Amino acid sequence: MHIKTILNRVQKFKSFVHGSVRWVDKDSEPTIEVELRPRSNGRAICSGCRRQRPGYDSLPVRHFEFIPMWGIKVFFVYAPRRVSCSDCGIRVEWMPWAEGKHQLTESYAWYLACWGKRLSWSEVAAAFRTTWDHVFCSVEMAVTWGREQQDLSGIEAIGVDEIAWQRGHKYLTLVYQIDQGCRRLLWIGLDRKAKTLLRFFRWLGKGRTGELRFICSDMWKPYLKVIAKKAGHAIHVLDRFHIMAQMSKAIDKVRAEETRKLKQEGYEPVLSNTRWLLLKRPENLTVKQEPKLAELLRYNLKTVRSYLLKEEFQQFWFYRSPFWAGEFLDKWCTKTMRSKIEPMKKMARQLRRHRPLLLNWFRAKGQFSSGIVEGFNNKAKLTTRKSYGFRTYRAAEIALYHALGALPVPKTAHEFF
Ligand SMILES: [Zn+2]
């Protein structure tokens, strides 16, 4: 069987034919070159307007990398024609296998992009003996295409989230769609300022913003401000995941301070290595951790009291009626304000201030998948942490959209994957 026979089966282009196929030893690496030729009666198509136009001249031969076969690199070799277009002027012809100035064929780019969802980009580059840049360009192409094609109708519930990015205090704002039937990353912005989220609403547009019914977020002030201003009609919910995460941070603070103080005063270091005990939910503790927690709880430490306050607060989320949840919240806040534990008091003050938004949790219950933001948050962190080798915001953005955007892909992308 000839390679041409295989190619005619898997990658045939109307108005072009496969010419000769030959071995070339390039840089000590054997490659296969497949010549492409226009059909004898085929007229060139203008890349500007996609219409048939009279030919003008031919450019030098170009190489387009195709999917490797048995580990051997495969290139299409073609001398692009130029057309004289009455609308666009002198233009290079449209080639169905490649986009613009790209060196990779579209099939190969989709192929790499699909692998880029399963492996880190450097792993893909190594596996197919190509460069990190080629993998990046392929994923970028897939993301650009997908974002142009995606359907943005029917978005009713969104979650606004932030993740720390790179070292230091740099943040990304992420907006997810969290409707029961459709969950995906919708938008990413650098930073977590009011300006950042305003950009999201500009991107979403007035019409679609008007259709939003639920928005959940944490208590970050700039977000609260922008959401109130831009989508005051939607029910704004402070969700469980963000509140409990913040409470864990408060406990962390109490613990760190207390550990330092105990050490200074020469006490036994009862609090060392207890961080995870105190942050985990009791039902998630291991057999070894359980007695350790029980022992720890015997000490009347600020850390322990904070922990108990946090555990008590978990009940809040299980109320059905916003009224009784509100009563519970008020009692909890009063109790916490008397605790003399500053980080917890700060938490209580914040919860009090945002009482209506917290109670919205009960008004919105069951209307969207609230746990989903937490899931996305974990995945997003994992994606940015994975050694994709991105130092730039652009690469992080592309990687996140690729992993979490649930973007559409063309049917042809699956031909080789
Ligand atoms: Zn044209």
pLDDT of residue 141: 94
Percent of the chain whose predicted confidence (pLDDT) is above 70: 96
Whether 298 shows a pLDDT value over 80: the answer reads no
Residues 6 or more apart whose CB falls under 8 angstroms from that of 264 comprise: none
pLDDT of residue 100: 75
Tell me how far the alpha carbon of residue 83 lies from the centroid of ligand 1, in angstroms: 8
Tell me how far the alpha carbon of residue 89 lies from the centroid of ligand 1, in angstroms: 7
Tell me how far the alpha carbon of residue 111 lies from the centroid of ligand 1, in angstroms: 30
Q: Which residue has the higher pLDDT, 14 or 16?
A: 16
pLDDT of residue 370: 66
Task: Mark out the alpha helices in 192-274 (DSSP H runs).
Answer: 194-204, 206-210, 221-230, 240-264
pLDDT of residue 275: 74
Dig out the tokens for 246 from the structure.
């913040």
Tell me how far the alpha carbon of residue 56 lies from the centroid of ligand 1, in angstroms: 13
Which DSSP category does 185 fall into?
E
Whether 389 shows a pLDDT value over 80: the answer reads no
| Residue pLDDT, tens place only, 170-191 | 899 999 999 988 899 999 999 9
Q: Counting beta carbons within 10 angstroms of the beta carbon of residue 341, is it exposed (0 to 12), middle (13 to 18) or buried (19 or more)? A: buried
Tell me how far the alpha carbon of residue 112 lies from the centroid of ligand 1, in angstroms: 31
Tell me how far the alpha carbon of residue 84 lies from the centroid of ligand 1, in angstroms: 8
Angle at 224 between CA 307 and CA 342, to 5 degrees: 30
Of 90, 111, 81, nearest to 15 by C-alpha is 81
Q: Confidence class of residue 292 from pLDDT cuts 50, 70 and 90?
A: confident
Tell me how far the alpha carbon of residue 245 lies from the centroid of ligand 1, in angstroms: 56
Tell me how far the alpha carbon of residue 93 lies from the centroid of ligand 1, in angstroms: 9
Looking at the whole model, is its pTM more than 0.85?
no
Dig out the tokens for 272 from the structure.
């060392």
The full length of the chain comes to 417
pLDDT of residue 352: 95
162-175: average pLDDT: 85
When mean pLDDT is compared across 94-103, 192-201, 287-296, the lowest value belongs to 287-296
When mean pLDDT is compared across 101-115, 238-252, 268-282, the lowest value belongs to 268-282
pLDDT of residue 11: 82
Tell me how far the alpha carbon of residue 277 lies from the centroid of ligand 1, in angstroms: 67
Q: Which residue has the higher pLDDT, 221 or 29?
A: 221
pLDDT of residue 369: 67
Tell me how far the alpha carbon of residue 14 lies from the centroid of ligand 1, in angstroms: 19
Helix axes 355-363, 322-337, angle to 10 degrees: 150
Tell me how far the alpha carbon of residue 37 lies from the centroid of ligand 1, in angstroms: 21
